[in-house]
Amino acid sequence: MDAVTLPTIGELRATARVVSLPLVTRFRGVDHREAILLEGPEGWTEFSPFLEYDDAESSTWLAAAIDFGWNPQPAPLRDEVFVNATVPAVAAHEVPALLSRFEGCRTAKVKVAERGQSLADDIARVRAVRAAMGAEGRVRIDANAGWNVDEAERAAHALAEFDLEYIEQPCATIDELSELRERIADWDLPIAADESVRKATDPLAVARAGAADLIVVKAQPLGGVARARTIVADAGLPAVVSSALDTSVGLSMGLALAASLPDLPYDCGLGTASLLAADVTRAPLLPQGGVLPVGRVTVDSELLRERSASPDRTAWWLARLERCRALLQPED
Which residue ranges make up the annotated binding site? 142, 168, 194
CA 187 to chain centre: 27
Cα Rg of the chain (Å, integer):
19
In order of 64, 105, 257, the CA distances from 252 in angstroms are: 12, 18, 9
The strand pair at 291-293 and 80-82 is best described as antiparallel
Q: Residues 84, 275: contact at Cβ < 8 Å?
A: no
Report which secondary-structure segment, H or E, holds 194: none
Torsion sign, CA atoms 113, 218, 228, 314: negative
Annotated binding residues for Mg(2+): 142, 168, 194
Instruction: Tell which residue, 253, 271, 172, 267, has the closest CA to residue 216.
Output: 267
Cα separation of 145 and 168, whole Å?
Answer: 8
* Catalytic pick among 101, 111, 181, 229: 111
17-27 and 30-40 beta bridge pairing: antiparallel
- The closest of 44, 100, 10 to 252, measured between CA atoms, is 44
Say what the alpha-carbon torsion angle 168, 112, 24, 21 is, to the nearest 10 degrees. -50
- Active-site option among 33, 218, 307, 325: 218
Clarify whether 109 is annotated catalytic.
no
The neighbour count for residue 119, using CB atoms within 10 Å, is 15
Mind telling me the catalytic residues? 111, 218
